A and B are shown apart, each in its own frame.
Chain A
Amino acid sequence: MKSDMRYSLAENETSCRTEQGSSAMLKGLPAVLLLMVCFLLGCQRDLFQLSMSPELPVIPGAYYTGTDSCIPCHDDIYDNYNKTIHARIKASEGGALHGTGCEACHGPGSMHVQKKGGVDNIHSFSRLDAAAGSEICLQCHRGMPAMDWRANVHVLSGVGCNECHKSHKITAPKMVYMGDPEICFSCHQEKRAQHLLPSHHPLREKKMKCSSCHNNHGSENNNLVQSNLNDVCAECHAEYQGPFVFEHDPVVEDCSICHDPHGTIANNLLKQSQPFLCLRCHRGHRENMKTGPHPTAAALLTSCTQCHSQVHGSDLPSQVSGHGLTR
């Protein structure tokens, strides 16, 4: 344990030195400020070790006995664990203060061994609350995508890491129990129903995942969207990102004004069918009774995008005003 601690201190000292040189790569005041904060944090290690992780659970009086003491009773779990990425982690990777193996997550096991079992003398994740259990994971998983986990709506609602990830056995990529999107649908059942609607993203066909758009571990954006919503859409729909000479205001403002990405009855993931959706913001063309029945109401008021086909924006002027988005 002491050697691990020494290693951790040495790591911090080296970090302080290397961090100074990297600030020159960045431009912009916010980036410089971020690096300065980072530098200060890195140098104040003693202070932080005193105040780290109040949610992190402790087992008073217990000490580390090593993974070998776990195997006699938990050999079946160990066999599965041995095939996971956790079994391959090296102590030199930093993160956990107490090396690798079972006790890196479950805490010191001496009392558990002495009493030949029990759940009160070891970190049992099913008994820890979401914040405490997650804090153990955050000792190592400090980078993306979990950097904003502590204020994430999931953990604040009592959904910890262990609710979705099973670290003893590989059942799906990223150790997601049941896999993505099934694990998400198990709570967000209405989203499952929306993906059964006629217009949907290919989640149920297993060509996409919830995590293709969402960072379930925390995001500064609403609804845990990975980045600005329009930028997320543009990752696959780059043909609509522009910037165009003739823009459609809601396309620039927010794709979700017109589209519901989880599934809709109307085609093209439109929240409502045409022309209703368009008529909510735009006036419709009305048949001129004095010029007779041509064109018909059906032609004018069925599908606006038959004529205004470039509804996401265009560099080419339309016929009359230029802004009609017809070509």
Chain B
Amino acid sequence: MRNHSIALITSVLFVFCCCGTTVCAAQQQTTVEADASAGFHHYNVKGFRGKLGEYDVLDSGTEARFSLSGTTGGSYFNAHGSILDEDDQTYRFYLDAQRIFQTDLTYRRFNHFLDHDPLANQDSVRDFDVGRDNVITLQEMKAENTLRIPALPFLRFTADYRNYTKRGQRQATTVSKCAQCHVSSRNKRINESTDDITLGVEGTLGPATITYQHLWRSFKEDARAPVNDYGDGASLFTATGPQSYSRVPDSKTRIHKVRLSSRLPFASSLYASYQWGERTNNDTHNDVDFSNVAFRLSKYVSRYLSCDVFYNNYRMDNDAPDGKERDIEKGGINLNGHFIKRTNVKLSYQWENIDRDNFDENSTRKERYRITVNKRILKKFRLHARYEKTKIDDAFITRDDNFNTLVQTSLPKSQDELYISANWSPRAYFSLTTNLRYIKSENHRYEIDEDRYEFVLSFWYVPFEPMTLSGSFTYIDNQVDTPSAYKTYHLRDPESVFLYDRVPYDDRSQAVYFSATYQLNPRLALTGDGGYMWSRADFDTQLDSTNIGEFSDLEIEQLQTSLGLTYLYSRNVLLYAKYIYREYDDKVQNFLDGQFSLISFGVNWTF
């Protein structure tokens, strides 16, 4: 399938490029622009490569890029591609044929490196694939096509296709209790494929635009699920002997979408949408039906005031026994006023009701109030401030299966959010922006207290025309204080079945980012950027004289710098070079540490 896709894309590109160049040569009013580059990159990787370049292929080799675009008559085409490695490729081809037919073909392929948990915390474990890399290759091919028939200019037909595949392997663990090792780990093969076909039509009827789309989605997992020997089991265990686990079911989905947007009398407008569909598990034939109705009515009252009201109803019905079902209704009103010069005030109210079946908590009501002010205090100084209050009755909870009195949740009962952003641009060549966000979340019923702080300071500065500098500093701190409960393992200790504790959790991160570009002379340009990130997350709680938080502490430093250079050797030839250094330093789990440096250089030829 993969080779087939590549061949298809390449063929289409080739055919259209040939057609394009042939037509261009034959006609008068044609323009063609093309450039191609070829180069070499060399990686020097030390340590674990997974965290350094989680989505990159860090192998040395050649690289190539190309770009081709042109117009002829009323048609336009554009093709470009980038090949950094066999597993890191991107292509796009766009054709606009006389505004009648448009096609946008894209293909991308990249790797995702996954961790392999060494399970070092377990004292009874068996890993059948120690040291093997877990890599998944993701591949997406999309074709978005639009057809306009000149005789029917008020209609536009669309036909889209998407194929998304994941191939590779990931770690899959299971627990087999006393009969065998407690935790078994195997590398599970992944061979997933998602195919989407979407057909649609868009019609313009006077002031109204209506669209209809029908999506068919098919998801398949062709790899076999791993098998574990669960042994003889214990008296209560249902799984014995060799059994599969971590099985992913095939499924299919159908969704219909109808949307309407229109101007209405009395300076108002309407947006409405209705979606309905179903999702089926092909293995168990369980079926979920869902529908979503939404509308929004906007009214332009005067040049000083506009408002809109909206309503949304999402329903999900599950035919599986004890399957989760939901019915969400939400609505609200927004008022947007310009009563004071250079000041914009927006007031919002939103409510949301969630009714559930076969969940622990059957209904939840949320109400949210928001006031937003945009003010230009001085000619060069703008302020944006927002305050939002959310009240939640009966948040989503989890109830202990055996002890109904034990109810827990991570969600707040009330939340206050304050956001302030200020921008100061004293000169056309300098701008300073700062953002501050504070979120206070509380749930007194379940004794949850959460504070989140975000601070950003950024600048943009052009000291002289060919040089641009920009940078930012970000600080994020999230503090959680919540109760936790522990059940005695094996339930053999009735006098201390539960232990309650309060657990403070704190995660903090700081990021500094800097970027510079400098056009030294008409031929030589320099670019550089650097980023440093420090992040830490930890919690402390004593359980039976052991601080269990210590097992999960995180402290990570990341550094990335890059320098780039381009030199215009001649009118058609551009030389480029780049250097990147990246470092990942895990202060707790040292085996994840790594560094790499990259040197790449090449030549770009403009035809």
Contact = CB atoms under 8 A, between A and B. Distances in A.
Interface of A: 11-12, 14-16, 18-19, 22, 25-26, 28, 30-31, 34-35, 37-39, 41-45, 47-49, 51-55, 83, 85, 88-90, 92-95, 131, 142-144, 147-148, 150-151, 156-158, 173, 189-190, 192-194, 196-198, 202, 205, 207, 218, 220-221, 227-228, 235-236, 238-239, 241-245, 247, 249-250, 252-254, 257, 265-267, 272-277, 279-291, 294-303, 305-307, 309-310, 314-323, 326-327
Interface string B134-170: 0000100000000010101111100000001000000
B485 to A, nearest CB: 4
Classify the secondary structure of B's interface with A.
Answer: strand
Contacts of A274: 552
Contacts of B556: 198, 265
A306 B509 CA distance: 27
B179 to A, nearest CB: 10
Contacts of A275: 548, 552
A194 B221 CA distance: 32
Select the residue from B153, B177, B485 with max chain A CB neighbours within 10 A.
B153
A319 B233 CA distance: 9
16 contacts: A11-B154, A14-B154, A18-B203, A28-B276, A30-B293, A48-B206, A48-B265, A54-B300, A90-B74, A148-B261, A235-B164, A241-B279, A243-B320, A287-B543, A303-B117, A315-B249
A283 B263 contact: no
B107 interface: no
Given A241-B279, A287-B489, A41 B262 contact: yes
B505 interface: yes
A283 B533 contact: no
Nearest to B535: A265
Interface string B206-222: 11111110000101010
* Shortest Cβ-Cβ A-B pairs, 9 listed: A42-B205, A193-B474, A327-B245, A286-B486, A220-B294, A280-B410, A147-B261, A307-B175, A15-B205
A37 B76 CA distance: 37
Contacts of B210: 19, 34-35, 38
A34 B260 contact: yes
B503 A244 contact: no
Interface residues of B, number: 182
A288 B536 contact: no
A37 B485 contact: no
B507 A28 contact: no
B537 A319 contact: no
Contacts of A318: 238-239
B205 A41 contact: yes
Interface stretch (B11-19, B401-409, B599-607): B401-409
B509 A243 contact: no
Contacts of A25: 212
Given A158-B374, A241-B251, 19 more contacts: A12-B206, A42-B208, A44-B206, A48-B264, A51-B264, A151-B308, A157-B344, A173-B92, A189-B456, A193-B533, A207-B138, A220-B294, A253-B326, A267-B115, A276-B552, A281-B409, A294-B123, A296-B123, A301-B543
Contacts of B54: 202, 205
Contacts of A299: 121-124, 182
B489 to A, nearest CB: 5
Given A158-B374, A286-B488, A41 B208 contact: yes
Contacts of A321: 401
Contacts of B211: 143-144, 147
